[in-house]
Amino acid sequence: MKGKMAFVVGAGVGYLLGTRAGRGQFEKIKGWANDVWQDPRVQGYVQDVESQATAFAKQQGVALKDKAVEAARSAVAGSAPWKSGSRPEADDPAPDVLAGEPIIDAEDARLRP
């Protein structure tokens, strides 16, 4: 299924960029996309998402930095959790991302003074 979809997308892009009629269609699509992007409603959504991303980064930045420093110190000390035999499996603090566990839990997300 992926192969068929990739072929169809490739053929479409080839048509748009490789033929005179395709280039005309490409310019129409490009103009339409630009008009949509410049729409005040779309820009309002863009600004909302940007402010949410900024707030999240400010909130989670300290926790992420602390985890990175802790991992670096563990690696330098030779007790990194990814090294075999360094920790028992039951004591593994790494989240199970495939099982849907959060990477940063509520306790880690607290802002520190």
pLDDT per residue as tens digits for the range 53-107 = 888 888 888 888 888 888 888 888 776 555 555 444 455 555 555 555 556 655 6
Helix (H) or strand (E) holding 55: helix 40-77
- List, for residues 21-59, the tens digit of each pLDDT value: 778 888 888 999 999 999 999 999 999 999 998 888 888
Give pLDDT, residue 98: 53
Provide the domain count of the chain. Answer: 1
Structure tokens at 5: 């979809």
Residue that wins the pLDDT comparison between 22 and 109: 22
Structure tokens at 29: 């699509």
CA dist 61 and 25 (Å) reads: 44
CA dist 106 and 87 (Å) reads: 24
| Residue 63 and residue 71 in contact, taking contact as beta carbons nearer than 8 Å | no
Boundaries of domain holding 63: 59-113
**Residue 4 within any structural domain of the chain:** no
Give pLDDT, residue 36: 92
Compute the C-alpha angle 86/87/90, nearest 5°. Answer: 160
**Residue 66 within any structural domain of the chain:** yes
Structure tokens at 36: 């949509």
**Residue 101 within any structural domain of the chain:** yes
**Residue 26 within any structural domain of the chain:** no
**Residue 20 within any structural domain of the chain:** no
Q: What is the SS3 assignment for 83?
A: coil
**Residue 11 within any structural domain of the chain:** no
Give pLDDT, residue 100: 55
Give pLDDT, residue 113: 46
**Residue 63 within any structural domain of the chain:** yes
Does the pLDDT at position 3 exceed 80? yes
**Residue 112 within any structural domain of the chain:** yes
